[in-house]
Structure 1
């Protein structure tokens, strides 16, 4: 065999081994090379840039005591697993206690520079306080600029959105947006989406909280606004309600082996959704979450079947 032929054979074997390792780590069925699961990507409408459809939130899970070295090691392992499995989007906020500082500390401990899409928020009142808070977030994360800066829960949004427009024009941030959570203030969010040049909105959407389907998701699709989805597990209550039940056998048709993947694939299969951002404090749960970013997604008919199944439980 020629050197060239041997190189191609070894490369193919190496790639096949990588594909198998990925499938095992994501709890997906073992497949042949031709069936290697593909990462699910979504476009940001305002730019055409693509992002993985599963990201990572930090609410509650990263707001830990900085002196707890064991907890810090676990968060670093969670981040490494997230990036190793193709994650990019990480979302945080000054509202989340020490989460931004913890993120910064853990990112520094990673051996390789990850493909990070850094998203955080401004959560205060007044122009000066907002600027100080956003600059402090940059120091805590240790990033030169944020990919996405959002006005958290619409707090003083007129003031902060004016600043974000200036910062985007100056290249200090790449994208701007606003957020809501817990299904609140949808009417106000809709008015802002109609009149302001938003790149992103963030809102609550999951199998049980589906109010966003009525107006906000269609509006985002029509207006060309990317959508981040928070509380995809309803703050953990979806697991409390359904995890003791059997996952339906037909879930394998969309490459789901866990309830987390079932919940997440329902969300990211909506045509208006760009990225879901589940939070976790466990490495194994991160593997499960990232498994939803690979393989097949439900079509409209199967989405309806998913809804009917959980309604019957």
Structure 2
């Protein structure tokens, strides 16, 4: 497993991490806790040292599962979690929920209790819309938490370039988490170059496009109730992206899965620190981790990728 600097934070992370959204059990279809724990244990065995979760994943359940695997080896694992969505009204006509630093610190302390730890390595604002009152509240809370030594690095989870800039007042921002993949290259335009220029670490969520880039979905695929992908087959873009995946499938081989290709692609960008694909089983984790050791792309590979994905709808 290769390791990279998480921007200017001083933290070293495995280039493949573990995304713990799915194991919350409320957004990605059925998942068993025992399988989730085995998946995380396998990830750590294979050299993964970065686990990303959030208070809202399974209404705290993901954090409680992460607590079980970091116990007795806390100093070996970089734990990232997020606050800002738990209990949020999500109605633009309502007053902001996280409008004061005390509310954010309270949410942070709830995460500490669930994770059974006294510090967080990376704490993210999980609100991706730019509300000045909430932004200021988070910045104030972040400064306090870092000063107290309870947080090593702070970040924002967003794809909004203006929001990234707002959070980087005075060079405050250590890390950005964003959606980036072969099927969503929007971040290449502004955010990734900005992060590289300012020494901001980049955590890539969605590197497999929520499973699309594993190549296992078809026009006949149906997702269960409660799965965030449930309505995908009815969306106009779904068939378009299935077609793109089919064109990219030529890059896979018996020795390199399409998922490995997708992970290797995001890791090729010099601004990226770590990609966090999810994994419900040890087998999925093993395939994800293999992307860290595969050879880089040939020039022909890169030309094909450009022809299929550049300029496509995001």
**How does the TM-score come out when normalised to structure 1?**
0.74
Give how far 1:198 is off.
0.9
Flag the 1:266–1:123 CA change in 2: closer, same or farther, 3 A.
same
Q: Find out whether 1:224 has 2:217 as its counterpart.
A: no
- Cα deviation for residue 154 of structure 1 reads 4.1
Partner of 1:203: 178
Structure 1 residue matching 2:156: 3-state secondary structure: strand
**Residue 58 of structure 1: aligned partner:** 20
Superposition RMSD in Å: 2.7
Distance change in 2, residues 1:299/1:150 (3 Å)? farther
**Take 1:232 and 1:153, find their aligned partners in 2: how far apart are those partners?**
20
The aligned counterpart of 2:250 is 248
Instruction: Give the TM-score taking structure 2 as reference length.
Output: 0.74
Shift of 1:195: 4.9
Per the alignment, do residues 259 and 93 of structure 1 end up closer, same or farther by CA in structure 2, a change over 3 Å counting? same
What's 1:273 paired with? 272
- Is the 8 Å Cα contact of residues 40 and 295 (structure 1) preserved in structure 2? no
Q: Which residue of 2 aligns with 1:172?
A: 150
Say which SS state the counterpart of residue 8 (structure 2) adopts. coil
Who wins on radius of gyration, i.e. which is larger?
A: 1
Residue equivalent to 2:67: 104
Deviation (angstroms), 1:50: 2.4
CA distance in 2, matches of 1:120, 1:140: 11
Residue aligning to 2:104: 130
Q: Report the CA distance shift for 1:194/1:207 in structure 2 as closer, same or farther (over 3 A).
A: farther
- Structure 2's unaligned 5+ residue stretches are 86-97, 218-241
CA deviation after TM superposition for structure 1 residue 153, in Å? 2.5
Distance 1:77 1:174, change over 3 A: same
Distance 1:190 1:47 in 2: 18
The C-alpha deviation readout for 1:287-306, integer Å capped at 9, x for no partner, is 00011122433377743433
What displacement does 1:310 show?
6.4
- The corresponding residue for 1:145 is 119
Q: Cα distance 1:49–1:256, how it changes in 2: closer, same or farther (>3 A)? A: farther
Counterpart contact for 2:84–2:126, Cα < 8 Å: yes
How many residue pairs get aligned? The number is 260
Q: CA deviation at 1:147?
A: 0.6
C-alpha distance in 2, partners of 1:160/1:196? 14
Question: Does the aligned pair in 1 maintain the 2:135–2:167 contact within 8 Å?
Answer: no
Q: Pick from 155, 158, 164: which aligns with 1:189? A: 164
2:94 alignment counterpart: none
Q: Is the 8 A contact 2:102 2:141 kept in 1?
A: no
Which structure dedicates a bigger proportion of its chain to helix?
A: 1
Contact 2:155-2:173 within 8 A present in 1 as well:
yes
Aligned pair in 2 of structure 1 residues 121, 299: CA closer, same or farther (>3 Å)?
Answer: farther
1:264 aligns to 2:226 (yes or no): no
